[in-house]
Amino acid sequence: MEPLRIYVCGAHSTGKTTLARHLAQELGLPLINEVARQVMAEMELSFETLRVDLKQVGEYQKEVFRRQLNVEDRFPDGFVSDRAFCNLAYAARHSNALPEILASVDAQNYFEHLRRHGLVFYVRPHRECMQDDGFRERVAWDEINRIDGILDFIFGWQQIPCIGISELNMKDRVRTAQTAVRLYQRALAGRSTSTLPLNASESEIAAKLGKLRKRAPQRPVAAKVEPHESVHAVLAEGSSGHGASAHRVPLSALWSDLA
C-alpha cells in the first residue's frame, strides 16, 4: 500500500503543530517539524531583518521551500508534516520571490505530488488560538487572515484536495482528522467504506459523507481509477458497496465536503 503522507497546513497561530503532533503519535509516523526555524538560525536572520530586506527574505523563503522538499524525501515510508507549501504564502506576502519559486520544476512536481499522493489538512484560524511564542510571524488577527487567504487561493489555484479543519476544540479537530485518515487508508487499500465503524460522536461527519452519493460524478465502468483518487460512497441507505450499485467519489469531493 502507498505510504501515508499527511500534511498539516495553515497560517501561523492556528494550532497546526498540536494537531500534527497528535496525528504522528496516534499513527506511529515520524513528525516533520517546520524547517523555518532551522533555516533562519543557519542564515543568522531575524524577523526584523526579513521585514525590511526583500532580497534576504526572498532567499530565505526559497531555502525554506527547498529544505521542506528535501526533508520529506528522507521519509519514503510516510510521515506527518507540520506544514507543506505554507511558506509560499509568506513569500507572496513579504517578498518578490514567489514567481521564481513557482516557475521551478521542483514546485510543479511538488504540487502534483500533493494532488495525487498526499492527505492534506487545512487548519483555519481562530482568535482563541493566537499565541506569541517569540518566533512566529507577527501575531495579529488581520495578518493571520491575510496569510490564510493566500493559502486558500493557492489551494484552489493548484487544485489541491484538502480537508478543512475549522473546529476550535482540539478534540473535534482530532476526531475529524482521524476519521479522514481512516477513510483515506481504506481508499489507498482499495476497500469499501461500507463497514467503516462510526461512533456516535462521528455521526455528523458520516452525514456529510452520505450526501456525496447524491452528487457523485459517474465514471465509466472501464475507466481506470487509482486507489488514492476515489473511495466508495456507500454510506447512503441501501447501498451494498459492490457491483454496479457502488458509486465512486473523487477524494477531492470528499475533502471539500468535510471542510
**What's the confidence (pLDDT) of residue 228?**
40
**What's the confidence (pLDDT) of residue 46?**
81
**What's the confidence (pLDDT) of residue 195?**
54
| Mean pLDDT calculated for residue range 52-62 | 90
At 5, list the grid cell: 503522507
- Provide the sign of the torsion angle of the four alpha carbons 84, 88, 91, 93, taken in this order: negative
Q: Give the global pTM.
A: 0.74
Name 82's bridge partners: 8
Alpha helix segments (H runs only) across the chain: 16-27, 36-42, 47-52, 54-73, 87-94, 98-103, 105-117, 141-157, 170-188, 203-212, 251-258
pLDDT digits (tens, 9 = 90+) for 144-202: 999 999 999 999 999 998 888 999 999 999 989 998 898 888 778 776 555 555 555 55
pLDDT at position 251 over 90: no
- Find how far residue 101's CA is from the centre of its chain: 20
Q: What percent of the chain has pLDDT over 90?
A: 49
If DSSP codes are grouped into helix, strand and coil, which group holds residue 188?
helix
At 226, list the grid cell: 487509482
How many Å apart are CA 221 and CA 201, to the nearest integer? Answer: 35
| Mean pLDDT calculated for residue range 66-86 | 95
How many Å apart are CA 63 and CA 35, to the nearest integer? Answer: 10
All domains of the chain, ordered by start, with CATH?
A: 5-165 (3.40.50.300), 192-258 (no CATH)
pLDDT digits (tens, 9 = 90+) for 208-235: 444 333 333 333 333 443 444 333 333 3
Name 123's bridge partners: 10, 165
pLDDT digits (tens, 9 = 90+) for 18-51: 999 999 999 999 999 989 888 998 998 887 777 7
**What's the confidence (pLDDT) of residue 224?**
42
**For residue 157, with 0-12 CB atoms within 10 Å meaning exposed, 13-18 middle and 19 or more buried, which class applies?**
exposed
At 102, list the grid cell: 513557482
How many Å apart are CA 237 and CA 258, to the nearest integer? Answer: 20
pLDDT at position 72 over 90: yes
**What's the confidence (pLDDT) of residue 243?**
39
**What's the confidence (pLDDT) of residue 200?**
52
